[in-house]
Structure 1
Amino acid sequence: MSQVDARWAQLLGTVDPVVLGARVRSARLAQGLNQADLTGDAYSVGYISRIESGTRRPTLAALTVISERLGTSVGELVAGASEQQLDEIRLGFSYAELALENGEAVDAEHQARQTLARAEGASVPDLTTRGRFVVARALEAMGQLDDAIMELESLFADIDGLPALRCGIALSRCYREAGDLNLAIEVGERIRPVIAEGGLERSDEAVQLAMTVALAYIERGDLHRAARICTEAIAMAEEVASPTARSAAYWNASIVYSERGETQAALALATRALGLLGEGQDARNLARLRLELGRLQLALDPPDAEQALVQLERANEELRSTSASRAEIAQAQVVLAHALIVDGRPEQALEVVVAARDATPGQASLGAAEAATAHGEALAELGRTDEAIGVCREAAALLTALPGADRWVAQAWCELAELFDLLGETAAAHAAFKSAASASGLRLRGGDRRTSRVRQDVS
């Protein structure tokens, strides 16, 4: 059996017999033939009738004979499209994926939806799955996380194997980006049976999923659990011997060390990850890793602003030509602005951070608040104190409007408090520090309770 015949035989086993029968009947009527015209010596009218009614699935040999008598191809009967049309669908998805990787998310979504409609009409499951995944990734890149999550949840329920694992990685990532860390972690548990049943434990994707879940644990503040996942993933990645898997493991382990305050160890792991990822073709993650390396170099004591700028400028340039979302690109610009300030170039920092804020107007997000704080910092360095205070108050309003609070929000409040204090806004600094304590989970007791406690101590 040829490769083409094997593909049609596989698809024939999955196509709905009712749909297939309707195609046979439609093609027969279009040719002005009756059922007897299709029977020949080998088949009966009853056999053809059962095929057309959807109560009998024909063999590939029988369908080949029927297609020849109908003047069509097996592919058009099984897939609803000719091989040329299927190639056009594949090409359409390839174009959408390329647009997505080049940072043209809107164009990618438009192309993917158009091509997806053709794939659904052709009833080709693997192409339909591919199209739905591209649409979801485009929505994520555009910052439409709720819509992306809906698409991914729907897709995840319909597929298995490696496509389901890749879908799970994207779904966990979207939940984390949306701030729902518990669901980001829960996706990892949901997909464990898929990994086991498909024998995918030693795949790159299994390591990438573990790292995605580890990031959710890091953001939730559970560094011990994140460290265990990273240790296990590094061991698995070393066995797999894949540069991509090993890079992901080292990268996330570096984040754990960074959060523990062990910057030198984090920097060593991130540098190792960068060397490994540089061997591959994952431009978006390479840029993101450069961004993380730049952050770590700024966190050194003293900061290595020169080397940080090398990484951050490349990261900003590379992210613009990938599927990174606008919010992710803006975040990279904020980190670059910090580096420029440290390097004594506040004028350039101001230009960069204003561009970052213009890219995400009106968004009440942590990223928007961090951008506003960086904006205020640049203005403060330039001696434009009144403007800086006004922008810092915008940052405070953005942080206050956030629906949830976690350690990252607490860190943002701390940085804003320090800036308020630098600007001489003591009351605002005090309020920001209180907000940081609240975001971190600390709660201040009421005045009466504190007074009662003091009286008990002195009595």
Structure 2
Amino acid sequence: MTSSGRTALSSTTAREIKQQERGALATQTRTNHWSPRTPDQLGIRIRKARMELGLSLAAVAQSDFSRAFLNQIELGRSRPSTRILQVIAERLHRPVEYFLQDPRNSASALEFRLAEAGTRIRQGDSVRARQLMTELLALPQIAPELRARAQLVLGEALLKLRAIPEAIEVLQVAIEASETNGWRALKVELYDRMGTAYYNLRHPHQAGRWWDKALGSYEDAELTDPLLKARILGHRANLHYVAGEAVEAIAGYQSAIAAAEDVLDMPALGGIYEGLALAYQKTGDITRALEYAQRSLRLFDTLRDVRMSAQLRNNMAEILLAQGRAAEAESLFLAGAEQLRHVGDRDLLPHLLAGAAEAALDRGEPALAISRS
């Protein structure tokens, strides 16, 4: 949420909403067979909720879609996508289920659960994402492709929770279904996540085989998803980095940026910048290392990702400390430590305090260093 209470949308999401709005207003097709409800039923519920809150069309639409589009939805002349319905529900302070005819089994309800789980993962709530997907997969008579997509999201949540063996088991089932049914784009996504699973297990050769398989399948299928391609290229660059091949890693990260710089979301771009910073540090190009570390830090500060911001401050401080710039390093170590104290994160805190103590020693203040030990 922004300071004004307005639901913030990414630029990519806003573009998607605008595209859907234009298409819907152009056709204004009246549809009487649509889940979650027919447009008439859905529109009535949206209008009722809006009027109960005393909100105008403009207050709900804000700058993300037009008042005219929302009016067409309320009149039953247009229908919103799952994402637009999610935005409307948030602004009307209702759960999406309020607008759904059958919150357990309708196609739109299940699509919404998938979307919500993905959002939860991006927000750092992988526990809730796992719960949502576990509940969805327990439902009877789910369409096979939807089941495989839910397994993909569940696998991603499990990876975030470090439940790697369980994630591999879930992903393998989805891969078998995708290969059997020829779901090409989904198959590439699953190969990529499986590579991540083995990378997290510190099995780089197996990770590399999965990522090579993902990239090969992407190209064979002639897919045009630059974000997916950039993610795979970035993962392959990580393998070069851990193998000590800094120059190859830099080339890989730059290829990932070139593939999708205009559409990469901030977390993905921030992660690639972090990889470039570490790779340039290995080559001895400290100026470029600090440049990319600073770029990454700005993105994660904007995202308010406290742990990543603290980690990046730690990385930058270590570079500066090695260069004899103890005062600058100390400032970064302490800023990162303060961030972690503020949110109660204790895992990385000892490393930052140890770094600050070392910086104080380098500045000739042993008493201060001892107080931070």
Q: Distance in 1 between matches of 2:40 and 2:85?
A: 23
Per-residue Cα deviation, 1:95-119 (whole angstroms, up to 9, x for no partner): xxxxxxxxxxxxx983435564144
Structure 2 residue identity aligned to 1:396: A
Q: Which of 145, 154, 163 is the equivalent residue of 1:222?
A: 163
Q: Distance in 2 between matches of 1:163 and 1:286?
A: 28
Q: Distance in 2 between matches of 1:109 and 1:282?
A: 29
Contact 1:376 1:392 in 2 (8 A): yes
State the Cα distance separating 1:262 from its structure 2 match.
1.1
Change in 2 beyond 3 A, CA 1:112/1:258: same
Say whether residues 1:176 and 2:117 are aligned partners: no
State the Cα distance separating 1:184 from its structure 2 match.
1.0
Per-residue Cα deviation, 1:429-450 (whole angstroms, up to 9, x for no partner): 9989xxxxxxxxxxxxxxxxxx
Change in 2 beyond 3 A, CA 1:333/1:166: farther
State the Cα distance separating 1:175 from its structure 2 match.
1.5
Per-residue Cα deviation, 1:341-386 (whole angstroms, up to 9, x for no partner): 1222210121122223233447352221222123223323543232
1:343 aligned residue: 283
Q: Which of 286, 303, 325 is the equivalent residue of 2:229?
A: 286
TM-score w.r.t. length of structure 2: 0.69
Query: How many residues are treated as equivalent by the alignment?
Result: 314
Say whether residues 1:295 and 2:238 are aligned partners: yes
Contact 1:364 1:398 in 2 (8 A): no
Change in 2 beyond 3 A, CA 1:261/1:131: closer
1:270 aligned residue: 211
User: Residue 81 of structure 2 aligns to a residue in which SS?
Assistant: helix
User: Residue 262 of structure 2 aligns to a residue in which SS?
Assistant: coil
Unaligned runs of 5+ in 2: 1-26, 45-60
Contact 2:253 2:275 in 1 (8 A): yes
Q: Which of 288, 292, 301 is the equivalent residue of 1:352?
A: 292
Q: Which has the larger radius of gyration?
A: 1
Q: Which of 189, 195, 199 is the equivalent residue of 1:258?
A: 199
Say whether residues 1:117 and 2:60 are aligned partners: no
Say whether residues 1:129 and 2:74 are aligned partners: no
Q: Distance in 1 between matches of 2:351 and 2:217?
A: 33
Contact 2:334 2:352 in 1 (8 A): no
- 1:61-100 aligned at under 5 Å gives the runs none
TM-score w.r.t. length of structure 1: 0.58
User: Residue 339 of structure 2 aligns to a residue in which SS?
Assistant: helix
Q: Distance in 1 between matches of 2:228 and 2:30?
A: 34
State the Cα distance separating 1:186 from its structure 2 match.
0.7
Q: Distance in 1 between matches of 2:173 and 2:281?
A: 39
2:96 aligned residue: 154
Q: Distance in 1 between matches of 2:235 and 2:191?
A: 12
Unaligned runs of 5+ in 1: 21-107, 137-146, 433-459
Identity %: 15
Contact 1:331 1:356 in 2 (8 A): yes
Contact 2:30 2:77 in 1 (8 A): no
Runs ≥4 residues deviating over 6 A: 424-432
Contact 1:218 1:226 in 2 (8 A): yes
Change in 2 beyond 3 A, CA 1:267/1:15: closer
